[in-house]
Amino acid sequence: MTLLVLGAVAVMLIAALAALLLPDLLGALAAASVVSLALAVLFALLGAPDVALAEAVVGSGLSGVMFAMVLRRVGYQPADEEETGHDDAA
Amino acid sequence: MTPDLLSHLFSIASAALVAIGLFMLVRSHYLLRALLGLTLMEAGVNLFLVSVGYREGAAPPIAIDGQLPAVMVDPIPQALILTAIVIGVGVLGLALALALRLHQSEGTLWLPRLRRRAQSACSKEDAA
Amino acid sequence: MTMRRNLASLIFTVGLGLMLVSLMQGSHTAFPVEVGQNINAAGFADHGAANLVTSVVLGYRGLDTLGELTILFVAATAAGMVLGHCPGGSTPPVRGGFILATAAELLFPFLILLGAYIIIHGHLSPGGGFQGGAVIAAAYYVPLLAGSGRLFSEDTGSLIESLAGVGFIAIGLLALWGGGEFLAPLYSHNGAPGALLSAGTLPLLYLAVGLKVGSELASLLARLGGIGMEVDDDA
């Protein structure tokens, strides 16, 4: 139990850092889904199976799919980041 | 592991999630990445509230064969978070729809570019 | 310049995180209110639902759940307004391969079955209208993602959604008519606790919630995915 909690928390935090640091938005999106999945495991361990079910379906499933669909329609190009990422001081 | 250490662990984990999400929300140059930060913040808040209802060695608040377990976790934060997750996905859908509309009208979701465009629109209005 | 601003944001964020940790410490030690303990003691006898979370969501604070459904409804409607109405009928632009399409078709009935099971057993086991509704929405979306062409009908979706909303409020009004409060649980003590037909009106309320959440999320997904809309040229 304790080991599982520690493992889930570690996976969650590493995935959150990956979501922050990954330059590719699709990769960051996948990392955010992993955060939700680890969170669902954590909820189940915390005695909240209802919430775990909701988080697993909604957090790591539906919201990731929503993001991915919008990303596909918007046509995100990572190369844009180099172009405009550093001139926000203007 | 003592319950004290466990509660420390959950506070630190949820505060870290909120902080990472806030950092993404504030410092991102791309609108969708900022929204991703918002979902991470939401996850942190959810984890914190559920962990408040947790009691050491407590069972889920569900009766098995008509018998409730002797020690159960607090069901109220769970019910709260259950609705919060679903509201969260509704709000996320609305935000993504607005972002999509913004992309249709402005052609970009890069925040510096959008900001510059808004500023030039403002100065044009001032000049007029 | 950017470097310095990034550093400032980082310091601010770390400080905020530390402050949150110190604030959160207090909440874990003391039980601020006794409500949870009282519900744990009395909830099963009050509503006859084996799952106490269901008892809280629908029995003790059904009005909040109605408000939450309203928020979801407004969000889905606003998203539809912002994105414009899509007439439907055309196939999605990206097609998956044969294996993906076939697997998605095969998965569809099982996902619907799983969602229905989760909704109907919401008062007995973990799950309920919210989770099952989300599973049903996902079931409609998996074949769409694979491009196999099973389209979510917007008209049917909105019909189911309105009927479910009306049903939820009608059950609430029934309780009002019977002399209780709005959305008070009825017939709680008919049926053995833990049986499928127990807990009075709570499973019916959860069924309405599940249908409403499922159709709303499915229509939200269909709108965001641009199913049946022309692909914009600037993408």
Span C123-144, average pLDDT: 83
Mark which residues 74-93 of C lie under 8 Å from B by CB: 75-76, 78-79, 82-83
Q: Is B95 touching C (CB cutoff 8 A)?
A: no
Domain ranges of chain C: 46-72+93-224
Complex prediction ipTM: 0.83
Domain ranges of chain B: 3-127
Alpha-carbon distance of B80 to C105, in angstroms, equals 35
Domain ranges of chain A: 25-75
Chain A residue numbers with beta carbons less than 8 Å from the beta carbon of C145 are 65
pLDDT of residue C9: 79
- C59-68 CB contacts, 8 Å cutoff, 24+ apart: C59/C185, C59/C202, C61/B79, C62/C172, C62/C182, C62/C183, C62/C184, C62/C185, C62/C205, C63/C182, C63/C183, C64/B83, C65/B83, C65/C205, C65/C209, C66/C168, C66/C169, C66/C172, C66/C183, C68/B83, C68/B86, C68/B87
Candidates B19, B11, A31; CA nearest to C12 is B19
Contact in structure between C136 and C157 (CB atoms under 8 Å): no
Span C183-196, average pLDDT: 69
User: pLDDT, tens digit, for every residue of A10-63?
Assistant: 999 999 999 888 888 888 999 999 999 999 999 988 888 889 999 998 888 888
H helices within chain C, ranges in order? 2-29, 35-47, 52-54, 62-83, 98-120, 129-146, 154-177, 202-224
Residue from the list C118, C225, C235 with its beta carbon closest to the beta carbon of A74 = C235
Chain B residue numbers with beta carbons less than 8 Å from the beta carbon of C10 are 23
Question: Which residue did the predictor score with more confidence, A66 or B71?
Answer: A66
pLDDT of residue B3: 57
pLDDT at B128 over 50: yes
Question: Taking the domain B3-127, which CATH number applies?
Answer: 1.10.287.3510
Size of interface A-B (CB pairs under 8 A): 135
Distance from CA of A75 to the nearest CA of C (A): 5
Chain C residue numbers with beta carbons less than 8 Å from the beta carbon of B23 are 9-10, 13
Chains in touch with B (3+ beta-carbon pairs under 8 Å) read A, C
pLDDT of residue C189: 67
Alpha-carbon distance of A56 to A72, in angstroms, equals 23
**Range scoring the smallest mean pLDDT among C45-59, C103-117, C198-212:** C45-59
pLDDT of residue C26: 67
- What does the mean pLDDT of chain C come to? 77
Q: In 10 A of CB A89, how many CB atoms?
A: 9
Given pLDDT bands bounded at 50, 70 and 90, which one contains residue C193?
Answer: low
Candidates A38, A73, A80; CA nearest to A55 is A38
